[in-house]
Structure 1
Amino acid sequence: MQAVRKRQTSHEFTWTDSTGSKRTLPFLCYQPSNFQADATMPLLLFLHGAGERGTDLKLVTKHGPPKLIDQGEDFPMIVVSPQCPPEQWWADRENLEGLFQLVQHLQDDLPVDPRRTYLTGMSMGGYGTFALTAAHGELFAAVIPVCGGGDLLNLGQLPKVPLWAFHGRDDDIVPLVRSEEIVDAIQKNGGDARLTIYDNVEHDSWSATYSNPDVYDWLLSHELPKPR
């Protein structure tokens, strides 16, 4: 496989959709410099926004953790960043199934600690983060949706997963209320959810979020309980 960027390698995951058809999901994979094949490590799944959809994996490095990794930042975890097909959405049912199967594949194929698997996404990926957590929250120890939103009628497993959302107060692409209503609903259902609002920030609430070390410390402070 060819490296798209010096510190991230490109891969392609093949999975079977609900019709029995084979589909592919390309992704970038970063492994920390202290990566050891005989030791398990945390995994962070990052879902990009609508502008990075397509067939060119270089687009995925435009924002978020893949961008920071490309710029030389070190992360204390494996970071996997898939690419959504053109004209599709992460929150589409079939793409949620593909992401679910991808995480299962990564947990089997890489030395991933299944109790420390995390999820984050921005904009369209924020919607995908809410939706994937609602559908398959059992996979994730904690999640961070950035300037996203979701279906209030289908909270699913969201109240069971620690969640920290971020949003710009002046966002005119995805209004702040989209995060507020989901976080409020999770809290009313007994879940562990909180929201950080950036004053004087429009849609780009991801730059401040993903450059904040506290975000990753918060993720790593959570792990799933040991199986009984």
Structure 2
Amino acid sequence: MTRFFFTLSISIALLTSCSTNKNQFGQTFINYTADTTISKQEVLKIRSLDNDLFDSSTFTGNEKIEIKYRLYKPKKEQLTSTEKYPLVVVYHGSGRPIGTDNKSQLGLLQKLFASPDIQKKYPAYVLAPQFPTRSSDYVMDTSRNVLSSIARPSLNSVLQLIDSLKSNLNIDTERIYVVGFSMGGSTVINSLSARPELFAAGISISGIPQFDKINELAAIPIWLIHGIDDTENPINSDEQFYKEMSSNVRFWKLKATTHDNIFTTQLLGETLPNWLFKQRKK
């Protein structure tokens, strides 16, 4: 798997060479890359990681909404009494992950950041909350003529959970990150908008952004990833968000990519962690 991750990272670096700022920000068009049999096997390895790698718990905040969550902790041999580690909060999409079974939310993104190869190079806590109902709703922004997202109260409970974990674990408060897909990608922008002082960076994949806190987000590195052929969450909302926020936003537009086939191997391996863990709160 290590060789696969290394090769994939080199390929992504070549793909992004046309970016206006290939190291950090700017808009990039990415060609669709069909998965090979080998890369599909690597995806299956990530998905097949044992759920028990994550501790299971429950949190109830001021909203009185019970949040089931899973938490991956760096290995004991990595932990010390003084060293602090990043926290990666990973939000799930809508559909079957919504609920209270406290396992359906453990999908590809959650397990990617907890996988042995990634943890070896990027040790971190990984928080995977499960929303009992939708975490974000979509409404039409009539002034922009695009969809905009609005957070539900359950997000406040998750933000309070993060505050609680900060007080009880060796978390580096300069490196708290938020990542999500689909509804979870929308909730990434909702989270940054609600608590811009909390997060060092965010990655929103196939989400719908929030527009009413643009000024508050100006200093936060954000990576938008969206399929051009996405009909479930149309890309035009992210395009408008990028237009208004472009100075601090990296925007990958994946050609010939729909909502459901965005997780080709060009988004796996070290691609996301390599960018994310470079970011620190300013």
Q: TM-score range by the shorter chain?
A: 0.7 to 0.9
Look up the match of 2:125: 78
Q: Distance in 2 between matches of 1:116 and 1:23?
A: 27
Say if 2:80 is the partner of 1:42: no
Q: Distance in 2 between matches of 1:81 and 1:209?
A: 23
Look up the match of 1:194: 250
Q: Distance in 1 between matches of 2:281 and 2:159?
A: 17
Q: Distance in 2 between matches of 1:206 and 1:132?
A: 23
Contact 2:135 2:152 in 1 (8 A): no
**SS of the residue 2:243 aligns to:** helix
Structure 1 counterpart of 2:203, which letter? I
Contact 2:65 2:154 in 1 (8 A): no
Structure with larger Rg = 2
**SS of the residue 1:138 aligns to:** coil
Contact 1:147 1:174 in 2 (8 A): yes
- Change over 3 Å in CA distance of 1:68–1:41 after alignment to 2: closer
Structure 2 unmatched runs, 5+: 1-49, 137-149
Look up the match of 2:106: 61
Q: Return the offset for 1:210.
A: 4.8
Look up the match of 2:179: 120
Task: Give TM-score scaled by structure 2 length.
Answer: 0.69
Q: Return the offset for 1:93.
A: 3.9
Q: Return the offset for 1:154.
A: 3.5
Contact 1:11 1:27 in 2 (8 A): yes
Say if 2:242 is the partner of 1:183: yes
Q: Distance in 2 between matches of 1:68 and 1:111?
A: 18
Identity value in percent: 26
List aligned pairs for 1:6-17, cutoff 5 A: 6-17=52-63
- Change over 3 Å in CA distance of 1:8–1:126 after alignment to 2: same
Q: Return the offset for 1:200.
A: 1.5
Q: Distance in 1 between matches of 2:210 and 2:79?
A: 40
- Change over 3 Å in CA distance of 1:209–1:84 after alignment to 2: farther
Q: How many residues align?
A: 213
Contact 2:113 2:126 in 1 (8 A): no
Q: Return the offset for 1:82.
A: 0.1
- Change over 3 Å in CA distance of 1:184–1:123 after alignment to 2: same
Q: Return the offset for 1:209.
A: 6.2
Structure 2 counterpart of 1:47, which letter? Y
- Change over 3 Å in CA distance of 1:107–1:206 after alignment to 2: farther
Q: Return the offset for 1:212.
A: 3.7
Contact 1:166 1:209 in 2 (8 A): no
Q: CA RMSD in A?
A: 2.1
Contact 1:209 1:215 in 2 (8 A): no
Runs of 4+, deviation exceeding 3 Å: 71-74, 206-210
Of 154, 171, 189, which residue of structure 1 is paired with 2:230? 171
Structure 2 counterpart of 1:203, which letter? H
C-alpha distance after superposition, 1:124-146 (max 9, x if no partner): 00110011101111111111011
Q: Distance in 2 between matches of 1:16 and 1:74?
A: 34
Task: Give TM-score scaled by structure 1 length.
Answer: 0.85
**SS of the residue 1:103 aligns to:** helix
Contact 1:32 1:74 in 2 (8 A): no
Bigger mean CA deviation after superposition, 40-49 or 208-217: 208-217
Q: Distance in 2 between matches of 1:53 and 1:156?
A: 31
Q: Return the offset for 1:83.
A: 0.3
C-alpha distance after superposition, 1:161-211 (max 9, x if no partner): 001110111111111112111122112xxx411210111111132454651
Contact 1:48 1:63 in 2 (8 A): no
List aligned pairs for 1:136-151, cutoff 5 A: 136-151=195-210
Q: Distance in 1 between matches of 2:103 and 2:112?
A: 10
